[in-house]
Amino acid sequence: SAVISQKPSRDICQRGTSLTIQCQVDSQVTMMFWYRQQPGQSLTLIATANQGSEATYESGFVIDKFPISRPNLTFSTLTVSNMSPEDSSIYLCSVEDLERGVEQYFGPGTRLTVT
């Protein structure tokens, strides 16, 4: 399986600021995804990061709040913009390589606290 790293692993931010989270994979993958896990909750997909084009967002998530980049097949970023305490969550990226299977592998997550 792919080895996935995320930076930062955790951060404490003030409301109104923005944070960019990086996701790096050790091999080229077809699909990259960003999920949110609110405290004590399950995971919800924010968007699918498409290489070379705009991300595809799920209902309830918008590009202005969660801009995503994917410049190549091994790297993606998620920005949480104009943060509020409600954005305090764990943000996880996952990858899926369509040539190898349908399972998704997850990074270690970024724990974000907004004060």
> In the complex with other proteins, which residue's Cβ is closer, 63 or 84?
63
> In the complex with other proteins, which residue's Cβ is closer, 14 or 42?
42
**Chosen residue from 2, 51, 57, 58 binding other proteins by CB under 8 A:** 58
**Chosen residue from 31, 51, 67, 81 binding other proteins by CB under 8 A:** 31
CA dist., res. 25 & res. 27, Å (int)? 6
Supply the DSSP symbol for 85.
G
Query: Minimum CB separation from other proteins for residue 100, in Å?
Result: 11
For residue 82, which amino acid is it? N
User: In this structure, how many other beta carbons lie within 10 angstroms of the beta carbon of residue 9?
Assistant: 12
